[in-house]
Every structure is written in structure tokens, then in C-alpha cells.
């Protein structure tokens, strides 16, 4: 893990390891996210935002980043365990997405096998981004990564379950989108009256259960 | 509203203008859920307007863009406008930017087009009392959280004034400039760019593009070539981050910026508030924090 400066009030913990392509970067990001969040709760770290992403954790709103970086360098995150404290959320999914045949072709298999694969995978929310409550779900092996559509759809309906890169994702609201559509759910993913407002927060384990 | 409360008055929007939004100090603390910070593009200017009318600094006001707006208040109120140079009238009576104004019930308040700079902030005694969303009344133009931008005919509820405004007579901010010199600290991804790119960044002038908005100030100028090609995995970004997309033209993230981005951030601008007043064509130069 390398700590990079970001302006005057932020730090980026970079968990990528260019020398080791087999490193579990997403696992390390999750371990640091959990560690930093727990330390903040215990008053050992001051940060307005702790933002995990694909290979990094951003700390923003840090009063003294230099001192914080020195402190963090002395910490070791506990290894993220698949059965960690965060709960398991089962998302009911109707697998009727328009892009299932494309996914099957890319994976060299059939549509029913794609659905079976997705329904059997235990995902974890790696991070949220793109839109409030949009979860980037890790859990698929790297060799099943998919390119985005060459031209994004102008409108993807809310609840669409989709794949892109190494991730599965769920659109919390209707928006333009270039991910490959595999299904849909009626689950509400973002509700401003909820606490937290996002149904699937970073670290949450997720199953995309076929209905 | 609980029984017995009198309605605290409303703002009637007679002419909304190009883009008038409700803004406060935004909704920090939710970036990990993909929720942008939002809030006034120049928080100090909104805080000042609130102080002038006796509001808490975090009260919601209006952010008015370029073409002004026309409002009517259903109750008497003290108001204050800060930010760009603009002609202000209460009925037929002229007012000043940066000075508290008394607006009688039913009077028309006109904020004219910005004659220098781009944006004004309007505070009304009691604040704009639309329902908060995740602790903020701010309109987020990226995610759609908060109230939609104002339209002609809208009515916005006002809160109850806390007390008489403090005895502040007149405040004057620095006038908008034709050339901005912005302090930029390199990182986190300056190593994705060639040394020549960093020379260009600090050594050449950029101009503010007309495509700029509350999400970001787009710049046009010498493109910044990459040393590392390929795609950057999405990572968290901060206010003032200078992101460089594939065309090499820098984009400085402002209040409604996305929480994560997939293009490398070459550096971070220490203070983005001057960009709130930067018209298209304004010259921008970067310098390092040591100078």
C-alpha cells in the first residue's frame, strides 16, 4: 500500500501492486476501508469522507494529512474475511436482460449457464459511484471481465442489473448507461429517508438471487 | 408544519433565469455512497450573505447564474446579495451587492444579469426552507438530489428569521478577475503524465470553456500528454481535482463533481472559489504551492 498526497486535505491509499498481477487488490481495499472506518469510529482518525474504489481508498477532509499519513503507515489492516461483520443481502433478480446473449457469447457458454453463474456467485460491494447508491459488485473472476457497450444506451431503467469490466452493478435510478444488461430487480437501492440511504453499502455481501 | 405555526412566507419566482438553484453548504459525508458534496460554488459568499441578514451561515439561499432572476416575497424580509457585480432593485429602489436590503411584503426583488463575474448568492432572513435531503437543501445538478432548479412560477417556503440582522453596513469582496492564478499541488496521478505535460500545465495559459458548469470548470489549452496509457481504475476524487480525460484538456472539479472518476488526476487546486465567477474565455494559470 502506498499513500499518495491529494491536495491539502486528502490522502489516497493506493492498494494496487503493479509487481503482482495476482494480488487481491479488492480484498486489500476492503480491509483498509473497514480498518479506517473502525479507527475513525474510535476517534483515532479524522476524515470527512472514506471513499473506497477499485484499487484505492480516498480520505478527504483530513485536517493534517502529513501526520495522518505517518500514523496510517504504522497500521496493518485486518484481512477482510468473506464472512465478515457486514450482512448478506439477497437481491431478487429477474434474469431477462437484453444483453444476456452477448454475455453468453463472450463467456463462451449459454444464457442459462450465465444466469446460473451469476445466481451462484457471492458478490461484495467494492464501492459505490456513478450515481447515489450504485454498487460496484466484485466476485466474478477476472477472466470473465466484459467490455462496455461501444455506445451507451440513452436510458437504462431503474433496477437494471448489469455487467461491465470485472463488476456487476445495479442502476438505482434510470440513467444513461453502457453496462451489459442481464436482469432487473424491484429492490429500492437508494432512499433518501433511509439510514444509510444506500441499501448496498461498501463491504456488504450480496447474492443476486434468481426469481 | 405543527398546528399553530403561521406560514413563514414564501418566495414567488417571477423569472427564474438561466440557472437558479437552492444552495447551502452541501451534503458532505456521503461520498462513499456515491453522493456528491454539492452546495454553493463559493461557500464564503453564501456565508457572508447569510451573516448580512442575521441567518446562521449554513442557511439555504439561492445561487443565481449569469442572467439574474426576479422574485417576490410574500412577507417583509431582510435580504442580501453577494458575488458578481449586478444591478439590484427592490421595486424601483436600487440596492447594492454586499449590503443588506429591506424588502417589503409583496415587493419585487430584481437581481440583474451579472455584469462582471457569473454568480450571485441571495440570502433571505429566515432562509429558504425547502425540505432537507440527507441534511442539505442544496440542488445537486449531477445526481438530481435536492430541489430541482427554479422555474418561473415556483413558490419556495421561507423559514422564520432568528432575530434582527447584525449591524453590518457594507462588505466588499474582491472583484472577479480576467486572469486567475490558481495554486495547484501535483498528485495523486502526476506520474501518469510526461514531464512535458507538467511543464505545459505550469507554463502555459488555459482558458475557461463555455461547457463549464457546477460539476466542473472545463479548460482549453495545451493538451497534457500521458506517460501511462490505458485506463485508470475508478478512484475517489476531491473538490478541485484536475482530471485529464482522453483529449488531454483539463477539467477542474467543482461542488457537484462525481465522487469517483476514471481519468487520472494530475493535481488538486487549493481554492476553487474564484472559478465560480470565471466567465468563458477567462485565462487560468497554475502555479505550485511553493511560489
**pLDDT digit string (tens) for B59-113?**
999 999 999 999 999 999 999 999 999 999 999 999 999 999 999 999 999 999 9
pTM: 0.95
Torsion of CA B6, B11, B12, B17, to 10 degrees: -170
Count A/B contacts: CB-CB distance under 8 Å. 112
Cβ of B259 within 8 Å of Cβ of A51? The answer is yes
Q: Over the stretch A69-90, which tens digit does the pLDDT of each residue have?
A: 999 999 999 875 544 556 899 9
A7 to B143: CB separation less than 8 angstroms, yes or no: no
Q: Is the pLDDT of residue B174 over 90?
A: no
Residue A208 pLDDT greater than 60, yes or no:
yes
Helix axes A100-107, A111-120, angle to 10 degrees: 90
Residues 6+ apart with CB under 8 A from A153: A176, A177, A178
- CATH number of the domain that residue B274 is part of: 2.40.100.10
> Domain A2-72 falls in which CATH fold?
Gyrase A; domain 2 (3.30.1360)
Q: Which residues pair with B216 in a beta bridge?
A: B253
- Nearest CA-CA distance, residue B31 and chain A, Å: 6
At residue B2, the pLDDT reads 46
Residues B207/B284, Cβ–Cβ less than 8 Å: yes
pLDDT given for residue A48 in this prediction: 98
Q: End of a domain among B157, B188, B216?
A: B157
Same domain, B109 and B20: yes
Q: Identify the pLDDT of residue B3.
A: 45
Residues B86 and B150 placed together within one structural domain of the fold: yes
The answer to the question of residue B171 being in a domain is no
List the grid coordinates of B248: 488531454
State the pLDDT at residue A85.
54
Residue B164's pLDDT is what?
A: 77
Residues of chain B neighbouring A190 (CB-CB closer than 8 A): 33
Domain count, chain B: 2
* Partners of residue B133 in chain A, C-beta under 8 Å: 192
Residue B17 counted as domain residue: yes
B113 lies in which domain range? 10-157
Among A22-26, A118-122, B223-227, B239-243, the least confident range? A22-26
User: Contact B33/A50, CB-based, under 8 Å?
Assistant: no
Partners of residue B269 in chain A, C-beta under 8 Å: 7
Encode burial over A102-111: b for 16+ CB neighbours within 10 A, e otherwise.
bbbebbeeeb
User: What are the chain A neighbours of B35 within 8 Å (beta carbons)?
Assistant: 132, 197
CATH superfamily of A88-210: Cyclophilin-like (2.40.100.10)
- pLDDT number for residue A87: 82
- φ, ψ (nearest 5 deg) of residue A136: -90, 115
Q: Do both B17 and B136 map to the same domain? A: yes
Amino acid at each position: 500500500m502506498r499513500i499518495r498526497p491529494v491536495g491539502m486535505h486528502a490522502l489516497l491509499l493506493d492498494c494496487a501492486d503493479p509487481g503482482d498481477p495476482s494480488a487481491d487488490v479488492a480484498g486489500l481495499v476492503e480491509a483498509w476501508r473497514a480498518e479506517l472506518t473502525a479507527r475513525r469510529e474510535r476517534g483515532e482518525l479524522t476524515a470527512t469522507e472514506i471513499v473506497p474504489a477499485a484499487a484505492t481508498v480516498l480520505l478527504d477532509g483530513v485536517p493534517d494529512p502529513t501526520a495522518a499519513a505517518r500514523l496510517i503507515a504504522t497500521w496493518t489492516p485486518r484481512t477482510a474475511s468473506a464472512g465478515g461483520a457486514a450482512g448478506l443481502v439477497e437481491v431478487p433478480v429477474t434474469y431477462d436482460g437484453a444483453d444476456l446473449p452477448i454475455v453468453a457469447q463472450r463467456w463462451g457458454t449459454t444464457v442459462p449457464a450465465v444466469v446460473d453463474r451469476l445466481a451462484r456467485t457471492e458478490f461484495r460491494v467494492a464501492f459505490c459511484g456513478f450515481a447515489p447508491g450504485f454498487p460496484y459488485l466484485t466476485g466474478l473472476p477476472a477472466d470473465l471481465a466484459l467490455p462496455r457497450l461501444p455506445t451507451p444506451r440513452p436510458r437504462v431503467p431503474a433496477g437494471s442489473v448489469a455487467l461491465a469490466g470485472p463488476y456487476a452493478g445495479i442502476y438505482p435510478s434510470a440513467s444513461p448507461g453502457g453496462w451489459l444488461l442481464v436482469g432487473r430487480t424491484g429492490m429500492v437501492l437508494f432512499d433518501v429517508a433511509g439510514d444509510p440511504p444506500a441499501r448496498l453499502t461498501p463491504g456488504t455481501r450480496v447474492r443476486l438471487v434468481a426469481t | 408544519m405543527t398546528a399553530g405555526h403561521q406560514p413563514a412566507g414564501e418566495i414567488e419566482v417571477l423569472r427564474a433565469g438561466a440557472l437558479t438553484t437552492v444552495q447551502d453548504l452541501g451534503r458532505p459525508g456521503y461520498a462513499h455512497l456515491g453522493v456528491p458534496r454539492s452546495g454553493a460554488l463559493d461557500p464564503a459568499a453564501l456565508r457572508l450573505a447569510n451573516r448580512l441578514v442575521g441567518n446562521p451561515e449554513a442557511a439555504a439561499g439561492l445561487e443565481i447564474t449569469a442572467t439574474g432572476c426576479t422574485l417576490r416575497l410574500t412577507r417583509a424580509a431582510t435580504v442580501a446579495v453577494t458575488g458578481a457585480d449586478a444591478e439590484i432593485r427592490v421595486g424601483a429602489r436600487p440596492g447594492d451587492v454586499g449590503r443588506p436590503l429591506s424588502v417589503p411584503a409583496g415587493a419585487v426583488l430584481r437581481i440583474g444579469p451579472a455584469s462582471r463575474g457569473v454568480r450571485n448568492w441571495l440570502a433571505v432572513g429566515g432562509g429558504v426552507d425547502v425540505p432537507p435531503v440527507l441534511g442539505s437543501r442544496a440542488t445537486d445538478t449531477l445526481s438530481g438530489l435536492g430541489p430541482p432548479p427554479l422555474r418561473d412560477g415556483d413558490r419556495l417556503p421561507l423559514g422564520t428569521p432568528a432575530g434582527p440582522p447584525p449591524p453590518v453596513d457594507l462588505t466588499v469582496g474582491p472583484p472577479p478577475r480576467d486572469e486567475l492564478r490558481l495554486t495547484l499541488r501535483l498528485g495523486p496521478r502526476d506520474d501518469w503524465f510526461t514531464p512535458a505535460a507538467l511543464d505545459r500545465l505550469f507554463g502555459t495559459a488555459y482558458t475557461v470553456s463555455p461547457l463549464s458548469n457546477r460539476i466542473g470548470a472545463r479548460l482549453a489549452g495545451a493538451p497534457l500528454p500521458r506517460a501511462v496509457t490505458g485506463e485508470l481504475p475508478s478512484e475517489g476524487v476531491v473538490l478541485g481535482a484536475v482530471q485529464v480525460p482522453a483529449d488531454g484538456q483539463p477539467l477542474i472539479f467543482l461542488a457537484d463533481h462525481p465522487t469517483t472518476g476514471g481519468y487520472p488526476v494530475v493535481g488538486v487546486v487549493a481554492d476553487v472559489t474564484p472559478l465560480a465567477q470565471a466567465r468563458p474565455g477567462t485565462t487560468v494559470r497554475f502555479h505550485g504551492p511553493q511560489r
